[in-house]
Structure 1
């Protein structure tokens, strides 16, 4: 186990009784916006295969990777080059490059216009099959976590099922190269996630931190193959900030760690593009009036945020 076992962030198993799981996750998400989730059902062999393929892609020559950059695509699919994304409110671009895989919809699907087709690299054999399987496994783990969240919010256990069915979720393969001259930039500047919930693999190496209510940076360092799960802005807005979308960062390492790459795989689980985000009545009371009286669709919310971080 990592040092995370001494953390105030909840560490849970998805095999726990649902009422117990809902209570632990809910309290951790309300206070910290994060939790560590083990026994999530994603095959360790699949994770290992995906990690190897991610590294193989990022080791390709720069011109080979850039061949998969989708001009005007907002970074939704394929490759996004090093120092492209910038955290909201920051000028220095993050020290990372990444690859995005989205949901594959059947031709003629009602939501087809909202989701670009996936791009697959020819250079890494088995890439598509591996990451389509991992996408589906992330999707299922996320659904189970949302069931626990629904119970915590006194909603029907399946309340979120329809809101995320065929949602615009994105799996990101992340590479933070060795740090040569940061010039004031960091691997991932302090930011909140846009989406509903994020499920992250590969955070066992030190560097990921969340900002507490007291203004302290708390390390988030799960055991290998466990998930770091956090609340995104869409769910925070839906719950009137009862569940917190917490500012977090990936700080630059020092010493020998700065000389090696860091890899991770976050799954940004999204609502359906046509889902209307409007504050849940159960999250509004005299002490907590509605902070978001104006509703908007998940697609419109995403478009606003992608512009803020430099991807559109």
Structure 2
């Protein structure tokens, strides 16, 4: 299991970046995100997913904001079946249930501020021979970016019968720079180690899980690994429980040059097409 790093340690930034380098993930405790706000969001969004009102907010093309039902859920790259989930894409400029906008926006802002700090830690502890690949400072890549996405995920109780091989979230890598994720209300998240072993990610309430996305891997010329992770199905009585998860996907502005091969926009479009979203 991954060990949690105390956010308030003097060497927290260095330890955090080292964990990202070694595993693609970092787990923080005693971080500044409001836990009461996170708990409030879990409860209120659970009510949203339990209601048929969710269908009034179905996502729109090409903006991709709003509700994605279980029938519209994405498939992981290379997977043959859809994930067992539904979710809502929240952007400040996009649609949102009126009663949820204020608390969701408050969390979005808090999580963005923390994400910017964590990205500055990555920048600070990038070796010089790695930092030379950054077309601009990492913190500048995300300035006023409208693509940073808060995804509120709902994994419903497992159906009695399900497609062979279907799990809550098949093994995948994220597209963006960093993903910021408060520990979910139920366990299930696993990360694949460099040795190919699946490790449990702590689900202790109050922990914050951060992982590298493909854009940071591309921008660092592979130094920071975009690590494969998944959400496995529960067993026994836990099959009847829902799971709520709220990853914030920190994106670079569309015109940012990630590498000689890609801008942030061209990379995002390529990945969304691979996922069958576009």
Could you state the TM-score of these two structures normalised by the residue count of structure 2? 0.91
Tell me, what secondary structure is at the counterpart of 1:67?
helix
Whole-angstrom distance in 1 between the partners of 2:266 and 2:235 = 39
Alignment partner of 1:220 is 2:193: no
Residues in 1 aligned to 2:186 and 2:243: alpha-carbon distance in whole angstroms: 8
* Worse-matched range after superposition: 207-216 or 169-178: 207-216
2:9 is matched with which residue? 16
SS in 1 for 2:40: helix
Q: 2:126 aligns with which of 125, 140, 153?
A: 153
- Pick one of 134, 141, 166 that aligns with 2:144: 166
Aligned ranges 1:167-206 → 2 under 5 Å: 167=145, 168-180=147-159, 181-184=161-164, 185-203=166-184, 205-206=186-187
Which shows bigger deviation, 185-194 or 76-85?
A: 76-85
Q: Matches of residues 40-51 of structure 1 in structure 2 within 5 Å?
A: 40-51=31-42
Structure 1 contact 94–187 (Cα < 8 Å) conserved: yes
**C-alpha displacement at 1:13, in angstroms?**
2.5
CA distance in 1, matches of 2:185, 2:28: 13
Verify: 1:306 aligned to 2:272, yes or no: yes
SS class of match (2:57) = coil
Count of aligned residue pairs for this structure pair: 268
Look up the SS of the partner of 2:38 in the other structure: helix
**CA contact 2:59–2:66 (8 Å) conserved in 1:** yes
Q: Distance in 2 between matches of 1:73 and 1:94?
A: 21
4+ residue stretches of structure 1 with deviation over 4 A? none
* 3-state DSSP of counterpart to 1:12: strand
**Cα shift at 1:162:** 1.2
Is 1:202–1:263's contact at 8 Å kept on the other side of the alignment? no
SS in 2 for 1:296: coil
Query: Aligned-residue CA RMSD in angstroms?
Result: 1.8
Stretches of structure 1 lacking an aligned partner (at least 5 in a row) = 1-6, 105-116, 279-293
Q: CA deviation at 1:37?
A: 1.1
SS of the residue 2:246 aligns to: strand
Gaps of 5+ in 2: none
1:100 pairs, out of 89, 98, 103, with: 89
CA distance in 1: counterparts of 2:18 and 2:185, whole angstroms: 23
Number of the residue aligned with 2:55 = 66
Superposed CA deviations along residues 63-113 of structure 1, whole A, max 9, x for unmatched, are: x32221134236x311011142100001100000000112x3xxxxxxxxx
Contact 1:163–1:271 at 8 Å: present in 2 too?
yes
